[in-house]
Amino acid sequence: MNIINTSELSSNQFYDAKTLIELCRLTDNTKGICFLENNVNAIENFPAFFLMYQGNTLVSFLSVFVPNEEECEIYANTLPRYRQEGYFRKLYEMAQEQIKNYGISKIYFVNEPNCLAGSEALGRLGAKLETSEYLMSYNMRIEPKVQNILDMEISETEDGEWIETFRDGEKIGSVHVAIDHNVATIYNLEIESRYRGRRFGVETLNLTVKHLREINCCKIILHVSGSNRIAYRMYSHHGFVHVEQVDYWLKRV
């Protein structure tokens, strides 16, 4: 076995990783979530990629996303016929040494619930399921029920729009929406603290959805943490359907 640790994938390594991830996706019936772009890591030139080859075949691949200097996320895939051989553990042990060297204290393993092999491996490693994140998609057949109790102002951003809601001149809430090829992704729906609990969040959401439909967005999606049950219920009760789930398993260094 030949193990490579690098901060940047070559074109051949990138192709090998994508091929491996696709084979695992088909076997495990998952979405094939992965991390392949080191330029978004908070630590510059972090050695984020670990590749294990048998001959010319990539049999196991692990990557590390570092959103900040205190924690990281690990994504890993092993070819089905090479599982139960300790290859993932070997790559993880190498990654853990690098993670320690940079003073990172929390490791979150990213796993899709359909990947039972991943859940079993993480359990053996001593990681604990910490939280889940859900991708939700709006049912475009549903007309949002706007109460017309808030005014809305829209400004353009580099990747979409910034939407704010007001009542009698007072700011109530805001939403960032990224738009790409008529697919809108809702981020950071926030309501001013003194106005929470008065259904202004629902109205801000419905106004946003109504506007996005009017500008011909064909799909509206958002992500919500499983720990945020209030937000999850609000989205579920107002046209959004849970379509994907990602689990985060925590292991402290």
Q: Tell me, what CATH number does 209's domain have?
A: 3.40.630.30
* Residue 253 pLDDT: 85
How would you write the pLDDT of the chain (253 residues) with one tens digit per residue? 899 999 999 999 999 999 999 999 999 999 888 999 888 899 989 999 999 999 999 999 999 999 999 999 999 999 999 999 999 999 999 999 999 999 999 999 999 999 999 999 999 999 999 999 999 999 999 999 999 999 999 999 999 999 999 999 999 999 999 999 999 999 999 999 999 999 999 999 999 999 999 999 999 999 999 889 999 999 999 999 999 999 999 999 8
Q: Are residues 8 and 109 in the same domain?
A: yes
Structure tokens at 173: 């809430």
Give the Å distances, CA to CA, from 27 to 61, 153, 197, 210, 218: 16, 47, 45, 39, 30
Phi, psi of 194 (to 5 degrees): -75, -10
Residue 205 lies in a domain: yes
Q: Residue 228 carries which side chain, given as an amino acid letter?
A: N
> In degrees rounded to 5, what are phi and psi of residue 22?
-65, -40
Question: What confidence score (pLDDT) does residue 64 get?
Answer: 97
Residue 207 domain flag: yes
If asked whether residues 95 and 33 sit together in one domain, one would say: yes
Domain interval for residue 22: 2-126
Q: Decide if 252 contacts 107 (C-beta within 8 A).
A: yes
Rounded-to-integer distance, Cα 146 and Cα 115, Å: 40
Question: Do residue 33 and residue 59 come from a single domain?
Answer: yes
Regarding pTM above 0.85, the answer is no
Per-residue pLDDT, 1 = 87
Number of domains in the chain: 2
Task: Note whether 23 and 119 are same-domain residues.
Answer: yes
| End residue of a domain, out of 70, 98, 126 | 126
